[in-house]
């Protein structure tokens, strides 16, 4: 190989190039120097080109520069070879170098020819300057908006990892921070804000970066030690670059200090009145005129053992308290009708409390009138007078408380059922894409089949994020296939319907054709790209104008950056912006909508993008009514005077824009433009109205009650007194406010004691106090008042003082005095009764002893007579005649009767005086034992019907009753095969027992007689009977709180019924 190369490069047969110049020194030297200088120049040119490319990476067509550099290097190398061949005939090497130069130059020529059209389109410096001026005008326009709004706006650069650098702040932010933009821009929050505040703000910025979404929050800030704390509503929105990376944050802050203070005052006022409302010891509430319960205080809820949710928004008469009877509910309904007609209604009624406790209340209904004299509320009030009723009865012994409507509007409407995936697409929806109604399937899949394959993932991800509560609203852009195969760009918006678990069950919305807008945006992008390409290409056109071009390009980039900042701000601030063009400065109707920012439609509740370039009267027709015309006139004044105008808050609505409250500021812009910045404050106004209404309602309630509702500051002075103060004391409320609360007490001792109790509550030793004292009214009458006060804290837990009620208890004190006098009398009577009872107990003991001795002394000779008669019979058995035997039997019968009579009398006398302890009694078992002891004839039937009770009672008395009644039924039956049925009927507080037989019955005229002692229906000679048994039964039953009845007719049997308490009182 080396041999071949050597042969190939051999130049022995050739002569050096110098021979051609005959080796003339001048000629050889001329060629040598010329080639050397050319080669040196050629080598310096590519070095310069490469240096330029290295310094300016943005120079267009840098590839052609590399080709030029290679071409020039080969050309320089060719001249060096020419110097070499003057002495060395290496023409093959010279040929190869020239061949390579030819290749590179050919490629360079082709590429350059291809690039010539693009190079020719590079803008001239004059055209580039005009574009820069246009961008500066746009920057000025956006800056005017930026500086004209009343909200604080700031832009934060996030491109440096871990650092947040302020790019820009508007004048409002400068005033807020107390610094100029030059002092803030380019610095971090740690460099311009106090340490603690900087840490808090850094945390918020990190939160915005980590979530990648807008965040809105309220915060209380103090920017330096000399300033006061203020409340701010701040929105932070991340801005993404073309690489989907967050490169800045645009923030807006609105000073809401006054709003927060007003809300706090309203809440505090409502809290105070609510606390007073709930602390009232009487039952009180609020009703609509139709009887719907709106509010009930805690006293009423606790009394019924129920919660507010159980009763609010229900008809008052259907609530638990009034379910004691239908008559009570009907009476209340009638009372509500009367009160709704303006009548004050009052009556006493029994209501139900917790555990079905019946309570008597003094109930009233007071109507509350509005400014037009119509009844707008009813105040029900109830006072527990059960104790009072009991006292009166003891003395006088007589007295007794919404929906969802979703509408999607637009070019094409859809309605999607997420549970079934069925969908409805309007005819206009399908016609927009060129389809007939039957050519698109009414389902989710029907929609999915139309979506462009490149858009389907993003489209599905968007609605899924919405129904999963990851984004606040559904808004997506994607392409749908038309019937002819082309695609249209669609803007989709919608709202979901949620079930109780927060799950989306339905979505309704519209699809709007935005293909033209997308095409325009694409054309703008293309033109911008061409503009940037022309700027870049033109930069390298002429080397002598490089410096000037560099300056122009730098100016353009600065302008673009400034414009981008302001565009980011205007597009992303959370306030609505409408820019109006005034075509005729003397005609207020010549305003037309020039542009809006995205938030404007959201604030107005209607899409106004389609209204751009329309007259103001067409956009907002009601601005020209008598109420709002001054606003449009003020817009014109802003254009003329170039002064900012703050309109404060006003209400607006029309056929499209829902009625709401707006906070509006107008500021001047160049070329007869006016910017209108607005914020929808409807929700806040509704909240403020609701709070104020609640306060008014509670104040009406407080002023309607008969008790004095008060508040006392920590210093001991009245800060609030309800209207009842004047009714009770006779003094005007305004004359007593800010006076010490003890001043109106009559006795010095009461003043001292009340002050000590007040101090103990204020110091936290106890939570409340209650005290009774006398006052001297304006008409110099004494009245007794009862004060109930409890500690009052604000929302921060700081002690403010006490609040409570003053109750006129003069009538009660008078009743108590009378009751005390009666109590003294009763005490005296009780003393006498005690002495009498002692004597009675002594007499009873003596009577028991007497009865015992008497029965013993009487029964002893009777037993002797009976024994003696038996002995005579035994001794004279053979000599006794039948008549004598009969007389002897009659004698013993009389003796046994007398003994039974004595035993009966002894039992009768002890009824009610013998104490028996209650025990568990199984009545069925007790009856079996009694029947067994009576031993009725074998053919006699005694049946126990049903299940007999088991309960605690005195066993012996109950046994005596059953034994006597069952024994009588057997003994006095006229047949040996008789039947007795024993049954029981359970009542509320007692059992009713029945003993029924089928004997001969008892005539009605004897029904009362049989319960009289010693009374019998048959001669004692026919049937041995003392006539005491039923008298004992009746006395036992009545002693135990029952009664006995008889149901009988001759020949139809007899039924004795008696009642026996389940639990003896």
Instruction: Judge if 953 and 1045 occupy the same domain.
Output: yes
Mean pLDDT, residues 155-175? 84
Sign of CA dihedral 39, 42, 47, 48: positive
Q: Among residues 684, 575, 640, which one has the least CA distance to residue 172?
A: 575
Instruction: Judge if 994 and 968 occupy the same domain.
Output: yes
- Whether residue 866 has pLDDT greater than 80: no
pLDDT for res 984: 92
Residue 1049: pLDDT band (50, 70, 90) is confident
Residue 328: pLDDT band (50, 70, 90) is confident
Sign of CA dihedral 513, 516, 520, 523: positive
Backbone angles phi, psi at 647, to 5 degrees: -90, -5
Mean pLDDT, residues 602-630? 87
Strands 152-157, 165-169: parallel, antiparallel or unpaired by DSSP?
antiparallel
pLDDT for res 147: 63
Q: Which residues neighbour 413 within 8 Å (Cβ) at sequence distance 6 or greater?
A: 424, 425, 426, 428, 429, 508, 509, 510
pLDDT for res 958: 86
Q: Please check whether residue 77 lies inside any domain of the structure.
A: yes
**How far is residue 827 from each of residues 387, 832, 840, 956, measured CA to CA in Å?**
21, 9, 19, 36
Lowest mean pLDDT among 159-173, 305-319, 900-914, 1027-1041: 900-914
Gap between the Cα atoms of 676 and 183, Å rounded: 29
Instruction: Judge if 210 and 280 occupy the same domain.
Output: no
- Tell me what the pLDDT averaged over the chain comes to: 76
pLDDT for res 408: 37
Joined together, the tokens standing for residue 254 give 């609105």
Given 849, 871, 888, which residue is the final one in a domain?
888
pLDDT in tens, 66-78: 777 777 777 777 7
Instruction: Judge if 343 and 454 occupy the same domain.
Output: no
Lowest mean pLDDT among 26-30, 564-568, 783-787, 1043-1047: 564-568
Distance of CA 17 to the CA centre of its chain: 103
Q: Which of the two residues, 129 and 164, has the higher pLDDT score?
A: 164
Q: Which of the two residues, 970 and 894, has the higher pLDDT score?
A: 970
β-sheet bridge partners, residue 510: 413, 493
- Whether residue 401 has pLDDT greater than 50: no
Strands 673-680, 576-582: parallel, antiparallel or unpaired by DSSP?
antiparallel
Provide, rounded to the nearest whole percent, the portion of the chain with pLDDT above 90.
Answer: 3
Residue 403: pLDDT band (50, 70, 90) is very low
Domain that holds residue 474: 412-513
Question: 605: phi > 0 → left, psi -120 to 50 → alpha, else beta; which?
Answer: left
Mean pLDDT, residues 646-654? 87
pTM: 0.38
Q: Which of the two residues, 282 and 341, has the higher pLDDT score?
A: 341
Residue 1058: pLDDT band (50, 70, 90) is very high
Residue 272: pLDDT band (50, 70, 90) is low
pLDDT for res 490: 83
pLDDT in tens, 781-813: 888 988 888 888 776 778 888 888 888 888 878
Q: Which residues neighbour 672 within 8 Å (Cβ) at sequence distance 6 or greater?
A: 581, 582, 583, 585, 639
Mean pLDDT, residues 603-611? 84
- Whether residue 983 has pLDDT greater than 90: yes
- Looking at residue 506, which CATH number applies to its domain? 3.30.450.20
Q: Please check whether residue 380 lies inside any domain of the structure.
A: yes
pLDDT for res 530: 56
Instruction: Judge if 299 and 327 occupy the same domain.
Output: yes
β-sheet bridge partners, residue 664: 648, 678
pLDDT for res 833: 54
- Whether residue 1027 has pLDDT greater than 50: yes
Q: Which of the two residues, 565 and 76, has the higher pLDDT score?
A: 76
- Whether residue 318 has pLDDT greater than 50: yes
Q: Please check whether residue 738 lies inside any domain of the structure.
A: yes
pLDDT in tens, 719-768: 888 888 888 888 888 888 888 888 888 888 988 998 988 898 888 888 88
Strand (E) positions, 385-463? 412-417, 423-425
Instruction: Judge if 935 and 1053 occupy the same domain.
Output: yes
- Whether residue 562 has pLDDT greater than 70: no
Distance of CA 69 to the CA centre of its chain: 76
Gap between the Cα atoms of 659 and 655, Å rounded: 9
What own/partner pairs with CB < 8 Å and gap ≥ 24 does 597-603 have? 597/570, 597/571, 597/573, 598/571, 599/573, 599/574, 599/575, 600/576, 600/678, 602/576, 603/575, 603/576, 603/662, 603/678, 603/679, 603/680
Half-sphere exposure (Cβ direction) of 86: Cα atoms closer than 13 Å: 20
Instruction: Judge if 185 and 310 occupy the same domain.
Output: no
Instruction: Judge if 791 and 828 occupy the same domain.
Output: no
pLDDT for res 409: 39
What own/partner pairs with CB < 8 Å and gap ≥ 24 does 211-216 have? 212/238, 212/246, 213/238, 213/471, 214/238, 214/572, 214/574, 216/574
Mean pLDDT, residues 504-514? 79
pLDDT in tens, 837-846: 565 566 556 5
Given 335, 362, 396, which residue is the final one in a domain?
396
Q: Please check whether residue 701 lies inside any domain of the structure.
A: no
Given 888, 905, 937, which residue is the final one in a domain?
888
Question: 439: phi > 0 → left, psi -120 to 50 → alpha, else beta; which?
Answer: alpha
Residue 400: pLDDT band (50, 70, 90) is very low
Instruction: Judge if 190 and 234 occupy the same domain.
Output: yes
Instruction: Judge if 198 and 268 occupy the same domain.
Output: no
Structural domain count, the chain: 8
Q: Please check whether residue 436 lies inside any domain of the structure.
A: yes
Q: Among residues 96, 108, 44, 35, which one has the least CA distance to residue 71?
A: 108
Instruction: Judge if 751 and 847 occupy the same domain.
Output: no
Q: Which of the two residues, 889 and 523, has the higher pLDDT score?
A: 889
- Looking at residue 983, which CATH number applies to its domain? 3.30.565.10
Q: Please check whether residue 189 lies inside any domain of the structure.
A: yes
Q: Please check whether residue 406 lies inside any domain of the structure.
A: no
Instruction: Judge if 1012 and 940 occupy the same domain.
Output: yes
pLDDT for res 982: 92
Q: Among residues 1003, 970, 997, which one has the least CA distance to residue 983?
A: 997
Q: Please check whether residue 1050 lies inside any domain of the structure.
A: yes
Residue 831: pLDDT band (50, 70, 90) is low
pLDDT in tens, 919-962: 888 999 988 888 887 888 888 888 999 899 999 888 888 888 88
């Amino acid at each position: 190989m080396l041999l071949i190369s050597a042969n190939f490069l051999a130049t022995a047969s050739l002569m050096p190039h110098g021979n051609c110049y005959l080796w003339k020194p001048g000629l050889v030297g001329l060629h040598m120097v010329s080639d050397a200088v050319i080669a040196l120049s050629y080598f310096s040119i590519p070095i310069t080109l490469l240096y330029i490319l290295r310094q300016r990476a943005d120079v267009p067509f840098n590839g052609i520069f590399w080709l030029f550099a290679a071409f020039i290097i080969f050309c320089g190398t060719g001249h060096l070879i020419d110097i070499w061949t003057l002495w060395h005939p290496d023409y093959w090497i010279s040929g190869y170098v020239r061949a390579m130069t030819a290749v590179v130059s050919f490629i360079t020529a082709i590429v350059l020819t291809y690039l010539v059209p693009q190079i020719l389109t590079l803008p001239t410096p004059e055209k580039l300057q005009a574009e820069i001026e246009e961008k500066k005008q746009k920057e000025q326009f956006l800056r005017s908006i930026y500086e004209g709004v009343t909200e604080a706006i700031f832009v934060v650069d996030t491109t440096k990892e871990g650092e947040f650098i302020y790019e820009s702040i508007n004048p409002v932010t400068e005033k807020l921070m107390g610094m100029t933009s030059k002092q803030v821009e380019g610095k971090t929050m740690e460099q311009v804000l106090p340490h603690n505040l900087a840490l808090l703000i850094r945390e918020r910025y990190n939160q915005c970066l980590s979530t990648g979404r807008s965040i809105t929050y309220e915060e209380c800030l103090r920017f330096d030690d000399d300033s006061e704390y203020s409340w701010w509503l701040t929105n932070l929105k991340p801005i993404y670059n073309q690489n989907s990376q967050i490169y800045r944050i645009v923030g807006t802050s609105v000073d809401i200090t006054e709003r927060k203070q007003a809300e706090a005052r309203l809440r505090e006022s409502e809290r105070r009145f609510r606390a007073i409302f709930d602390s009232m010891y009487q039952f009180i509430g609020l009703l609509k005129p139709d009887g719907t319960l709106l509010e009930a205080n805690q006293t009423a809820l606790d009394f019924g053992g129920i919660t507010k949710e159980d009763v609010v928004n229900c008809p008052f008469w259907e609530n638990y308290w009034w379910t004691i009877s239908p008559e009570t509910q009907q009476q209340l309904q009638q009372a509500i009708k009367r009160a709704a007609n303006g009548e004050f209604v009052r009556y006493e009624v029994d209501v139900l409390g917790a555990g079905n406790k019946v309570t008597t209340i003094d109930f009233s209904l007071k109507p509350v009138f509005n400014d037009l004299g119509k009844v707008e509320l009813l105040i029900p009030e109830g006072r527990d007078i059960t104790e009072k009723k009991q006292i009166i009865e003891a003395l006088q012994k007589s007295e007794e408380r919404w929906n969802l409507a979703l509408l999607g509007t637009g070019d094409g409407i859809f309605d999607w059922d997420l549970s079934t995936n069925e969908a409805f697409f309007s005819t206009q929806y399908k016609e927009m894409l060129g389809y007939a109604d039957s050519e698109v399937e009414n389902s989710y899949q029907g929609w999915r089949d139309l979506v462009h394959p490149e858009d389907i993932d993003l489209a599905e991800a968007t609605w899924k994020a919405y129904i999963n509560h990851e984004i606040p609203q559904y808004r997506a852009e994607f392409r749908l296939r038309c019937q002819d195969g082309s695609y249209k760009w669609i803007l989709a918006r919608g709202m979901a319907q949620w079930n109780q678990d927060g799950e989306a069950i339905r979505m309704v919305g519209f699809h709007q054709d935005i293909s033209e807008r997308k095409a325009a945006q694409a054309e703008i992008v293309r033109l911008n790209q061409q503009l940037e390409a022309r700027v870049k290409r033109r930069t390298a056109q002429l080397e002598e104008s490089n410096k000037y071009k560099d300056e122009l390009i730098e100016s353009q980039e600065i302008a673009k950056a400034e414009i981008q900042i302001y565009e980011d701000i205007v597009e992303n601030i959370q306030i609505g912006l409408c820019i109006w063009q005034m075509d005729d400065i003397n005609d207020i109707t010549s305003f037309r909508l020039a542009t809006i920012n995205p938030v404007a439609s959201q604030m107005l509740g209607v899409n106004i993008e389609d209204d751009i370039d329309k007259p103001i009267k067409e956009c907002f027709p009601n601005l020209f009514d008598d109420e709002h015309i001054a606003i449009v006139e003020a817009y014109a004044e802003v254009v003329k005077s170039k002064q900012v105008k703050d309109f404060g808050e006003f209400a607006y609505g029309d056929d499209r824009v829902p009625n709401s409250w707006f906070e509006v500021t107008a500021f001047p812009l160049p070329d007869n433009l006016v910017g209108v910045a607005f914020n929808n404050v409807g929700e806040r106004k509704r909240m403020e109205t609701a709070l104020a209404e609640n306060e008014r309602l509670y104040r009406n309630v407080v002023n309607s009650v008969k008790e004095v509702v008060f508040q006392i500051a920590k210093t001991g002075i009245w800060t609030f007194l309800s209207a009842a103060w004047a009714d009770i004391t006779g003094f005007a409320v305004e004359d007593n406010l800010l006076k010490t609360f003890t001043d109106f007490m009559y006795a010095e001792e009461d003043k001292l004691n009340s002050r000590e109790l007040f101090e103990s509550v204020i110091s936290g030793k106890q939570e409340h106090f209650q005290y009774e004292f006398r006052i001297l009214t304006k008409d110099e009458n004494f009245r007794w008042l009862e004060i109930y006060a409890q500690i009052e804290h604000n929302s921060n837990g700081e002690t403010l003082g006490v609040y409570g009620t003053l109750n006129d208890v003069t009538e009660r004190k008078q009743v108590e005095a009378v009751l005390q006098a009666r109590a003294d009398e009763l005490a005296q009577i009780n003393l006498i009764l005690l002495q009498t009872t002692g004597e009675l107990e002594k007499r009873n003991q003596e009577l028991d002893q007497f009865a015992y001795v008497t029965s013993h002394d009487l029964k002893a000779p009777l037993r002797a007579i009976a024994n003696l008669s038996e002995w005579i019979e035994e001794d004279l058995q053979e000599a006794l005649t039948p008549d004598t035997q009969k007389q002897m039997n009659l004698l013993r019968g009389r003796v046994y009767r007398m003994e039974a009579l004595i035993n009966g009398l002894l039992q009768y006398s002890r009824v009610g005086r013998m104490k028996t302890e209650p025990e568990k009694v199984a009545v069925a078992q007790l009856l079996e034992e009694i029947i067994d002891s009576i031993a009725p004839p074998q053919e006699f039937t005694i049946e126990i019907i049903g299940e007999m009770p088991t309960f605690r009672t005195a066993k012996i008395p109950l046994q005596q009753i059953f034994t006597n009644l069952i024994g009588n039924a057997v003994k006095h039956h006229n047949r040996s095969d008789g039947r007795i049925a024993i049954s029981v009927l359970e009542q509320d507080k007692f059992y009713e027992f029945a003993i029924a037989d089928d004997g001969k019955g008892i005539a009605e005229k004897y029904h009362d007689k049989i319960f009289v002692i010693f009374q019998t229906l048959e001669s004692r000679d026919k049937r041995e009977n003392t006539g005491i048994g039923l008298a004992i039964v009746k006395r036992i039953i009545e002693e135990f709180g029952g009664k006995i009845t008889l149901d009988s007719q001759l020949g139809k049997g007899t039924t004795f019924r008696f009642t026996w308490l389940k639990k003896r009182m």
